[in-house]
């Protein structure tokens, strides 16, 4: 049944390969829990069995460390999806996992840079006109100017870009979903400089990859290499590259969303720009802007303190 369910996720829902690997691992662990309890058939599972598995995830044991609330929630989500699918397919009479609620992970606000920090980061990619410096500046301008995930940026083809006025890019997101996002003037200028004066040199070292961002050998830039570019720029800009507030591949995406909302953008528009399936995911950024409003109030209003 697990194999059939994973096939369904692959074909019908188009889940990414890494997600499917995680689901398989979570479900294999669940089946081992059931086997240890003498249960070999999903139709024999009771709600208490699912709840017990969740408790084991949080407590750890049998060579498995205790999972955090977020990791346990993901694992239970895989289990609930399996039972929901089994009930819908008639393999089990009902969904016994329906009332088992995954633990709520602590709400963490996304890390975001302020505008001055972003400008320092973008300026720290290097002042020369070499192909790699032009690429690095174009990459970071693209990430901040479009809100793209790092995987969407390195996966973009030259044909996905329209650098005319007003400018747009096609981004290929999670689950096979694509979206078109605007590309601002600064990002267009950086991309144009790279495509005209930098990328041809890199292409000549390789086999003619269609990807926008290339490595020194002319092949597609990897996510790890893109992260290294960001880290080097952050170090040169004097930004945190270690610890809980470290600049990460998602930092520019978080900053993009936060700055849009600070500037008055509607949360539904930001949802579309980020490619979030649910507005609930986007609404966490509104908490960031509320904190910003409190900060401004506390420092500007004569009766705030």
Determine whether 23 is an active site residue.
no
Q: Are 68 and 106 in contact (CB under 8 A)?
A: no
Choose, from 74, 83, 135, 149, the residue flagged as catalytic: 149
The residue among 268, 108, 153 whose CA lies nearest residue 260 is 268
Determine whether 276 is an active site residue.
yes
Choose, from 8, 52, 84, 174, the residue flagged as catalytic: 174
Alpha-carbon gap, residue 95 to 304, rounded angstroms: 52
pLDDT single digits (tens) 236-256: 999 987 766 788 888 899 999
pLDDT single digits (tens) 51-88: 988 888 888 766 678 888 878 888 888 899 899 988 98
Assign a CATH topology to domain 2-88.
Answer: DNA polymerase; domain 1 (1.10.150)
Determine whether 8 is an active site residue.
no
Which secondary structure element, helix H or strand E, spans residue 269, and what is its range? helix 267-274
* Cis peptide preceding 166, ω within 30 of 0: yes
Mean pLDDT of 259-273: 89
Instruction: Identify the band that residue 105 occupies on the pLDDT scale cut at 50, 70 and 90.
Output: low
Which secondary structure element, helix H or strand E, spans residue 89, and what is its range? none
Task: Enter the pTM of the model.
Answer: 0.65
Determine whether 285 is an active site residue.
yes
Q: Where do the domains of the chain lie? A: 2-88, 115-246
Choose, from 253, 254, 256, 259, the residue flagged as catalytic: 253
Q: Are 163 and 183 in contact (CB under 8 A)?
A: yes
Residue 302's SS3 state is coil
CATH class of this structure's domain 115-246:
mainly alpha
Residue 80 structure tokens: 């609930």
Q: DSSP per residue over 117-128, as a string?
A: HHHHHHHTT-SS
pLDDT single digits (tens) 185-233: 999 999 999 999 999 999 999 888 999 999 999 999 999 999 999 999 9
Mean pLDDT of 83-112: 82
Alpha-carbon gap, residue 298 to 292, rounded angstroms: 10
Choose, from 120, 231, 250, 292, the residue flagged as catalytic: 250
Q: Which residues contact 299 (CB under 8 A, 6 or more apart)?
A: none
């Amino acid at each position: 049944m697990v194999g059939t369910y994973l096939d369904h996720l692959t074909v019908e829902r188009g889940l990414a390969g890494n997600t499917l690997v995680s689901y398989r691992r979570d479900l294999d662990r669940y089946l081992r829990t059931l086997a240890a309890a003498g249960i070999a058939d999903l139709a024999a599972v009771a709600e208490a069995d699912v709840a017990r598995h969740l408790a084991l995830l949080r407590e750890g044991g049998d060579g498995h460390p205790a999972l955090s609330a977020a990791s346990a929630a993901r694992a239970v989500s895989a289990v609930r999806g399996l039972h929901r699918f089994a009930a819908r397919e008639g393999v089990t009479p009902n969904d016994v996992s329906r009332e088992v609620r995954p633990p709520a992970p602590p709400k963490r606000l996304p890390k975001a840079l302020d505008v001055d920090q972003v400008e320092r980061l973008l300026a720290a990619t290097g002042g020369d006109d070499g192909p790699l410096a032009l690429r690095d500046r174009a990459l970071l301008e693209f990430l901040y100017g479009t809100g793209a995930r790092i995987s969407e940026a390195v996966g973009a083809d030259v044909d996905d870009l329209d650098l005319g006025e007003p400018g747009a890019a096609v981004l290929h997101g999670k689950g096979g979903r694509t979206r078109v996002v605007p590309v601002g003037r600064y990002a267009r200028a950086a991309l144009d400089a790279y495509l005209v004066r930098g990328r041809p040199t890199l292409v000549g070292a390789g086999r003619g990859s269609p990807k926008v961002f290339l490595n020194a050998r002319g092949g597609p830039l990897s996510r790890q290499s893109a992260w290294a570019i960001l880290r080097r720029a952050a170090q040169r800009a004097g930004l945190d590259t270690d610890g809980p507030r470290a600049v990460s591949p998602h930092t520019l995406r978080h900053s993009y969303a936060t700055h849009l909302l600070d500037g008055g953008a509607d949360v539904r528009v930001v949802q579309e720009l980020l490619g979030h399936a649910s507005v609930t995911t986007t609404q966490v950024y509104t908490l960031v802007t509320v904190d910003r409003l409190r900060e401004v109030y506390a420092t500007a209003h004569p009766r705030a303190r």
